Amino acid sequence: MIRIEPEPWAAMVAHARRAYPNECCGAMLGGSEDGAKTVREAMVLENAFAGAQAARYELRPEDLLAADRAARARKMDLIGIYHSHPDCDAYFSTTDLQNSCPWYSFVVLSIQKGEFHHANSWLPNVEQTAAAKEELIY
Ligand SMILES: [Zn+2]
């Protein structure tokens, strides 16, 4: 279960709408207790994909590392990554799976015609062959 507090959630939705029709991406900082994760802060990261960004995002390893350091400096952890799917459902694509890692929650925001539509959180397995849907509260 992952719960996103109102402030980071508003920031994530605003970021996803701003990036439309491209994909946006960012880091989710917070903590976890008894298997329940709480996102307390959203950090905007640059979509570093060199090609068309309407259906693709890429994170720089150094940006992720910086997000991890920022989290620790604020006594939080980097608990997940979010990105948007412009005019597309909030599913976890094969590319998303290939670029995933099993220790993060991956929140996907579906933005339809520039407006927020729905979101899902995904937990990829270690083999990066499948992702299970995680209960998401926002
Ligand atoms: Zn995706």
Q: How far is CA 29 from the centre of its chain?
A: 10
Please tell me the predicted confidence (pLDDT) of residue 35: 82
Dist. CA 92 → ligand 1 center (Å): 6
Question: Where do runs of H (alpha helix) occur along 1-137?
Answer: 6-19, 61-73, 94-98
Question: Ligand 1 centroid to 75 CA: how many Å?
Answer: 29
| Identity at 96, one-letter amino acid code | D
Report how far ligand 1's centroid is from the alpha carbon of 97 (Å): 8
Read off the pTM. Answer: 0.97
Percent of all residues in the chain with a pLDDT value above 70, rounded to a whole number: 100
pLDDT in tens, 73-108: 999 999 999 999 999 999 999 999 999 989 999 999
